[in-house]
Amino acid sequence: MKIIFLGPPGVGKGTIAKRILNKLDAIQISTGDLLRDAIKNQTHLGVEAKGYMDAGDLVPDELVINLIKEKVKKQDNFILDGVPRTIPQAEALDKVVKIDRVVSFEAPKEVIIQRLSGRRTCPKCGFIYHIKNIPPQVEGICDKCKVKLIQRDDDKPEAIKNRLKVYEEKTAPLIDYYEKKGKLVTVDAGERDIDFIVSDTLNALNRDSIEEE
Ligand code: AMP
């Protein structure tokens, strides 16, 4: 199944994707993770993308399209996490692959801000914690890798504000775009237990026969 996870930054797309990948025998393609890897490895792409990302702006469409085009062609089952983020990206994607389902995750703005500002990531394994909702056993340390958790630069207040504005302007119109194509399903990702959100997501994908691990 070829799936897109749509929704504002911090709504939980990455966390939910990780919880259901095995069940769907799918891989997660996160442009945010791919771009952060490019920055870490100081590739040409990383150097170009860094300024935009630190400010909470979108990286130019062309870079993102080139980054995922070949990947999606090769895979039968995937969840796109954080892409497309603009109408031109969605149109470019439509040219190379047929998307089956788009899940739109919704949550109130205050919940999003609280999630983003409390988010901490393990720089080694990529696991996403939250200081209140998903705390590590020892404060500030990854349970698995035992390394110090980091806060992403774009999870700091000024960048959060800009990312939400950019989402409203550039990405939210995609909800309409996919609704018109009859591919959209909506999941309430507000303040409720993550297990319910995960199971609603599976139901929305018509995979209610699969039980979450
Ligand atoms: P994320 O981890 O999905 O929140 O993405 C972090 C940042 O990477 C975003 O704020 C953008 O600067 C950049 N980015 C990720 N995916 C895209 C995309 N599809 N289009 C443009 N920029 C992106």
Q: Residue 82 CA: which ligand 1 atom is closest? A: 3
82 close to ligand 1 (CB < 6 Angstrom) = yes
Q: What is the pLDDT of residue 133?
A: 86
Mutate-to-test residue for ligand 1 from 53, 89, 158, highest number of ligand atoms within 8 A of CB: 53
What are the φ/ψ torsions at residue 129 (nearest 5 degrees)?
Answer: -105, 170
User: Would you say residue 28 has pLDDT above 60?
Assistant: yes
User: Would you say residue 208 has pLDDT above 50?
Assistant: no
User: Would you say residue 211 has pLDDT above 60?
Assistant: no
Q: What is the dihedral of CA 166, 75, 189, 203, to 10 degrees?
A: 150
Cβ-contact 56, 163 below 8 angstroms? yes
C-alpha 25/C-alpha 199 separation (Å) is 16
The secondary element (H helix, E strand) that includes residue 130 is: strand 128-130
How many angstroms is it from 180 CA to the middle of ligand 1? 24
Cut 0.85: pTM above it: yes
Q: Residue 56 CA: which ligand 1 atom is closest? A: 10
15 close to ligand 1 (CB < 6 Angstrom) = no
If pLDDT is split at 50, 70 and 90, which confidence band does 154 have?
Answer: confident
How many angstroms is it from 127 CA to the middle of ligand 1? 18
How many angstroms is it from 58 CA to the middle of ligand 1? 6
Which are the contacts of 83, defined by CB distance < 8 A and separation ≥ 6? 4, 29, 30, 31, 64, 68, 89, 93
Q: What is the pLDDT of residue 157?
A: 86
- The whole-number average pLDDT for the span 81-108 is 96
Among candidate residues 191, 140, 136, 184, the one with its CA nearest the CA of residue 10: 191
pLDDT digits over 158-181, tens only?
889 899 999 999 999 999 999 999
Determine the distance from the C-alpha atom of residue 67 to the mean position of all C-alpha atoms in its chain, rounded to a whole number: 15
The SS3 of residue 162 is helix
